[in-house]
Chains A and B, each alone.
Chain A
Amino acid sequence: MDFLAILSIIIPAALYTGAPLILTALGGVFSERSGVVNIGLEGLMVFGAFSSILTTLYIQDMVGPASPWIGILIAGIASGIFSLLHAVASVTLRADQTVSGVAINFLALGLAIFLIKKIFNKGQTDFIDYRINKINIPILSDIPIIGKMFFSMVPVTSFLAIIVAFIVWYIIYKTPFGLRLRSVGEHPMAADTMGINVARMRYTGVIISGVFAGLGGGVFATSISGNFSAGTISGQGFLALAAMIFGKWHPLGALGAALFFGLAQSLSVIGGQIPFIQDFPNVILTIIPYVLTILALAGFVGRAEAPKANGVPYIKGKR
């Protein structure tokens, strides 16, 4: 098997599993750039996956193939609202943000399964009829070599996620809103002095992170799992968190890291087809993202530094 053939297996696989991670990691960038630690991403993804599947199941007979798309949008809205809990606790009530995130994770899973049992009388939902299909992008997929590698048999959501990452980069680094968001996360008192409403910016950051994590969960459920149960989202949220850190709290860094982690995840599934990699024990591939994140934090793979005021509640007038 030659190198190009290997690439044409692993690149689509990385794009496929990377999309939910990209979206969720971007959400994390918004929240943490505003100075609110969000380890509730996992729970927000759970809630997104749950909402998207539920919506799709309800409307698929009426709407048809468009239903998973509506499901994903509803997932974004639902998780955005759900993340308000984290915002209220960590901004207004000055709770420990890590603890509040842990509570979000518990609550989302508990609530989702509670409702699933209430509605379906069993621990998991039915499978949805329409998924986000893998497609060949017209024209681009006809380009020799590259076309097959990047543009064939890939869910559209993967491309959307990559485009969104660039939009987020533009918003955070090139707009006044982005500057304010970052300033609130770096030095809230200075930002406050300049007339920026710290609490409002942080609320916005957390809610956007909820929307993105919800979209991520929705994309995962409608393109990969196809139904929802307690095990649907198992660690993807934390993996996205890791991607955000490995990407140094930068949208494009998060994009790259999420794609890389998506690759590592998919390698443990498809690695058997690839010579050299199939000799590796599977466990090594599975733990690579986590080990790399630790190394990145320790400064072995470029220093990853969090926004200065990340995790510190801002109390007006306190020095």
Chain B
Amino acid sequence: MQRLLQNEKIVNILIPVMAAVLGMVAGAIIMFLGGYDPVKGYTALWNGIFGSPRSIGETIRAMSPLILAGLAVGFAFKTGLFNIGVEGQLLVGWLASVWIGYALNLPGIIHLPLAIIAAAAAGALWGLVPGLLKAYFKVHEVIVTIMMNYIALYVTADLIKRFLYAGNEKSYKVKESASLASSFLATITDNSRLHYGIVVAILAAIIMWYLLEKTTKGFELRAVGFNQHASSYAGMSVKKNIILSMVISGAFGGMAGAMEGLGTFQNMTVLSAFTGTGFNGIAVALLGANHAFGIILAAALFGGLRTAAPQMSFNANVPSELIDIVIALIIFFVASSYLIRLLLTRLRKEGK
């Protein structure tokens, strides 16, 4: 046990796991205090995630935008930047994908990739602004990305109303040739909304892992994130790398929007509030320790929790907001990993 705890890698895996467990335990305590039955609540939650082919399908569907949002946050984190603007990048990506998907007439083999690329490009553009400002004016990216979120929210709503409005607060639907929907996936999961987006998301995760861990550019990006002065001394361009990192991160965020636009909804709604997926991406990235494969696992957890929340409310009468509380607490525990590290160190010392 002691030897295990001395291994930094294992501690790094242990922290998110402990945070998730602590979050769930705290959720149970809150249910208990609120006069609900925690066992019943979590049973309903479990069934909501794994109970039927349909719920499994919905969980996997919810995973794909979360994976991409998590990759966006995680990629920026790895390079020393905090992209809290994934929500905005997601919205502009969503709009771009729907726009291309609706307005063009192309064979599917070109149309679908083009719509996804458009989403990535729109997100990248939304990431470029904070990147440029950070690189050239030393403006902290957190505030700029928050502001960009709101600009995206209002501008996308306005653009839909102006150019793509199909009535009833919705845009036109995308053409079949640009759709990620799959009747095959829907059939095997008992008519869930599962679509091919999950393939795109996993491919994106592999690309992020390869780019960051196996290429020279990735090494540079991480180096700049780790120590700007040292990287600059070693001849790397700090400015270029900061901009590139925000652009790539934004592109992932934009693709998360394409998952909604081309997959789940096939259109875009005139939104008056954020979807929350971008912010959940922060939780996903933190819990996944900013690692591509950790992010997939974390997205599975959060995707499951999100899709099963209504079920929990329906079967066990526990308000679905409990899930928001649990997710918030998990973020707290991961962020305060100092506490968990302290506990682990205690454990280590007592053995001696």
Q: Using a CB–CB distance below 8 Å, which chain A residues touch chain B?
A: 37, 39, 85, 89, 93-96, 98-100, 102-107, 109-111, 113-115, 117-118, 231, 234-235, 238, 241-242, 245, 281-283, 286-287, 290-291, 293-294, 297-299, 306
Question: Are A93 and B150 in contact, with the CB atoms below 8 A?
Answer: no
- The contact of A118 among B34, B143, B144, B336, by CB within 8 Å, is B34
Give the docked Cα–Cα distance between A118 and B157 (Å). 33
Question: Are B84 and A102 in contact, with the CB atoms below 8 A?
Answer: yes
Give the docked Cα–Cα distance between A110 and B282 (Å). 17
Shortest Cβ distance from A290 into B: residue: B147
Known: A114-B325, A283-B154. A298 touches B139 (CB 8 A): yes
Give the docked Cα–Cα distance between A175 and B340 (Å). 39
Shortest Cβ distance from A107 into B: residue: B328
Give the docked Cα–Cα distance between A225 and B169 (Å). 23
B310 nearest CB across to chain A (Å) = 13
Question: Are A238 and B150 in contact, with the CB atoms below 8 A?
Answer: yes
Question: Are B154 and A298 in contact, with the CB atoms below 8 A?
Answer: no
Question: Are B154 and A96 in contact, with the CB atoms below 8 A?
Answer: no
Check if B137 is an interface residue, CB within 8 A of chain A.
yes
The tally of CB-CB contacts under 8 A between chains A and B is 130
Q: Using a CB–CB distance below 8 Å, which chain B residues touch chain A?
A: 30, 34-35, 82, 84, 129, 133, 137, 139-140, 142-144, 146-148, 150-151, 154-155, 157-158, 272-273, 279, 282-283, 286, 319, 321-325, 327-329, 331-332, 334-339
Q: Which residues of A contact B321 (CB under 8 A)?
A: 109-111, 113-114, 117
Give the docked Cα–Cα distance between A100 and B338 (Å). 13
Question: Are B147 and A286 in contact, with the CB atoms below 8 A?
Answer: no
19 new A-B contacts, CB < 8 A, other than A110-B323, A290-B151, are A39-B84, A85-B332, A89-B336, A93-B336, A96-B82, A96-B335, A99-B282, A99-B286, A106-B279, A110-B321, A114-B30, A114-B321, A235-B150, A242-B146, A287-B154, A287-B155, A294-B148, A298-B137, A299-B137
Between B147, B331, B337, the greatest number of chain A beta carbons within 10 A of the residue's beta carbon is seen for B147
- The contact of B143 among A95, A100, A113, A241, by CB within 8 Å, is A241
Give the docked Cα–Cα distance between A234 and B273 (Å). 7
A-B contact pairs, 16 of them (CB 8 A): A37-B142, A39-B84, A39-B146, A93-B336, A95-B336, A100-B335, A106-B279, A106-B324, A107-B324, A107-B325, A109-B321, A111-B321, A114-B321, A281-B158, A287-B150, A294-B144
Question: Are A283 and B143 in contact, with the CB atoms below 8 A?
Answer: no
Question: Are A114 and B319 in contact, with the CB atoms below 8 A?
Answer: yes
Query: 8 shortest A-B CB distances, which residue pairs?
Result: A110-B324, A106-B328, A107-B328, A95-B335, A283-B158, A93-B336, A117-B319, A103-B331
Q: Which residues of B contact A291 (CB under 8 A)?
A: 147, 151
Give the docked Cα–Cα distance between A39 and B286 (Å). 17
Q: Which residues of A contact B319 (CB under 8 A)?
A: 113-114, 117-118
Give the docked Cα–Cα distance between A50 and B279 (Å). 22
A221 nearest CB across to chain B (Å) = 17
Question: Are B147 and A100 in contact, with the CB atoms below 8 A?
Answer: no
Question: Are B331 and A99 in contact, with the CB atoms below 8 A?
Answer: yes
Question: Are B327 and A106 in contact, with the CB atoms below 8 A?
Answer: yes
Known: A110-B324, A114-B321, A283-B155. A297 touches B331 (CB 8 A): no
Give the docked Cα–Cα distance between A292 and B316 (Å). 47
Question: Are B282 and A93 in contact, with the CB atoms below 8 A?
Answer: no
Q: Which residues of B contact A118 (CB under 8 A)?
A: 34-35, 319
Question: Are A282 and B158 in contact, with the CB atoms below 8 A?
Answer: yes
Q: Which residues of B contact A107 (CB under 8 A)?
A: 324-325, 328-329, 332
Q: Which residues of B contact A234 (CB under 8 A)?
A: 272-273
Give the docked Cα–Cα distance between A105 and B140 (Å). 20
